[in-house]
């Protein structure tokens, strides 16, 4: 069984991949999507979204990273897949699941789920352009407005030569509203021979077990659940192997937040420094009341100095409480 970290645009970038994979339990990451239109992109675009290319396409803790492409034209998708492979990508993923209107309006993401033949041509072009040893995978939803074409989509992607398929168990019309329909994935196994990875609404080890049972999938992709509980993958792996596990408490999470802030100070423009930590706190407060308290302290702060001071004050208070 493998656990994959979901490619969440604007959230799971290289620094977040580094932080989360360092905790353990994650077997594969996928980058935010590289938008492909009608041209071959320069190498710097791939390096910007996947700086891990400079280190064997792995995070600092050694977790493999696949590069994800998003586009609706078979030729350019194949050409750019070949470029990514030539730069050292360990795998090429394809985004057929993004529900964003601006993406769908330009024939990208989940809108393509209504065109199984086009999906076949895109994957076929990419598979033909990439060396056999580089996996080509795809990420989809159950469908666009409904799941009536799911089997056609799965069959097309399989016949085109894909090496794996992740299915977010909701349609585009569902958005991110609960529940995820894990049971819908169980039927696809009879129409494909490639690994199917289940995705959607896995917030806890109990959710993970339900997802596996209902979907009949061995592997699961974690997204928002892993951002809310950074050690969720490690907890799932530990419990699955029969080991006792004690969840990370807030002081350990605070160390991660401070590391993210230091990285933001070093690599972001001053006006953007607070964005990443505020964004992550938005997920963490689902599981940690202390995250909500810290978010209230910094949500209106803009300068690195003010945010840093608030972090120190929060840390000192936590130490006082612990004592």
Which of these, 278, 222, 287, lies nearest to 252 by C-alpha position?
287
Question: Who's near 281: CB < 8 A, 6+ residues apart?
Answer: 257, 291, 292, 294, 295, 298
**How far is residue 138 from each of residues 7, 20, 61, 69, 277, measured CA to CA in Å?**
12, 23, 25, 9, 30
Catalytic position from the list 29, 50, 57, 98: 98
Residue 298, both tokens: 């910094």
Residue 13, both tokens: 């970038």
Residue 272, both tokens: 């953007």
**How far is residue 67 from each of residues 46, 116, 153, 238, measured CA to CA in Å?**
8, 22, 22, 28
Residues 24, 268: Cα–Cα separation, whole Å: 26
Residue 247, both tokens: 């969840």
Contact present, 34 and 68 (Cβ < 8 Å): yes
Element (H, E) at 166: strand 164-168
Q: At what angle do helices 274-284 and 250-267 cross, to 10 degrees?
A: 160
* Helices and strands in the chain, H and E counts: 14, 9
Compute φ and ψ for 92, nearest 5 degrees. Answer: -120, 120
29 is catalytic: no
179 upstream amide cis, omega within 30 of 0: yes
Helix (H, G, I), strand (E, B) or coil at 35: strand
Q: Which residues are catalytic?
A: 98
């Amino acid at each position: 069984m493998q656990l994959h970290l979901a490619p969440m645009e604007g959230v799971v970038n290289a620094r977040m991949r580094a932080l989360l994979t360092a905790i353990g339990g994650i077997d594969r990451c996928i980058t935010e999507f590289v938008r492909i239109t009608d041209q071959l992109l320069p190498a710097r675009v791939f390096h910007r979204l996947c700086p891990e290319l400079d280190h064997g396409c792995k995070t600092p803790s050694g977790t493999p990273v696949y590069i994800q492409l998003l586009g609706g034209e078979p030729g350019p998708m194949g050409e750019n897949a070949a470029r990514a492979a030539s730069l050292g990508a360990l795998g090429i993923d394809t985004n057929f699941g993004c529900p964003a209107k601006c993406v769908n309006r330009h024939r990208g993401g989940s809108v393509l789920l209504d065109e199984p033949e086009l999906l076949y041509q895109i994957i076929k072009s990419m598979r033909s352009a990439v060396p056999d040893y580089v996996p080509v995978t795809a990420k989809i939803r159950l469908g666009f407005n409904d799941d009536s074409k799911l089997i056609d989509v799965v069959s097309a992607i399989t016949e085109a030569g894909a090496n794996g398929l992740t299915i977010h168990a909701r349609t585009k019309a569902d958005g991110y509203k609960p529940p995820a329909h894990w049971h819908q994935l169980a039927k696809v196994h009879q129409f494909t021979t490639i690994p199917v990875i289940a995705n959607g609404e896995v917030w806890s080890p109990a959710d993970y077990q339900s997802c596996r049972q209902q979907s009949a999938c061995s592997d699961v992709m974690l997204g928002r659940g892993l951002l809310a509980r950074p050690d969720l993958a490690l907890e799932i792996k530990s419990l699955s192997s029969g080991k006792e596990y004690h969840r990370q408490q807030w002081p350990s999470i605070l160390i991660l937040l401070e590391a993210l802030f230091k990285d933001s100070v070093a690599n972001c423009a001053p006006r953007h420094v607070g964005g990443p930590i505020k964004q992550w706190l938005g997920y963490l407060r689902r599981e940690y009341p202390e995250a909500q308290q810290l978010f209230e302290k910094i949500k209106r702060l803009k300068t690195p100095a003010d945010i840093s001071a608030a972090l120190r004050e929060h840390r000192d208070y936590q130490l006082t409480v612990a004592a």
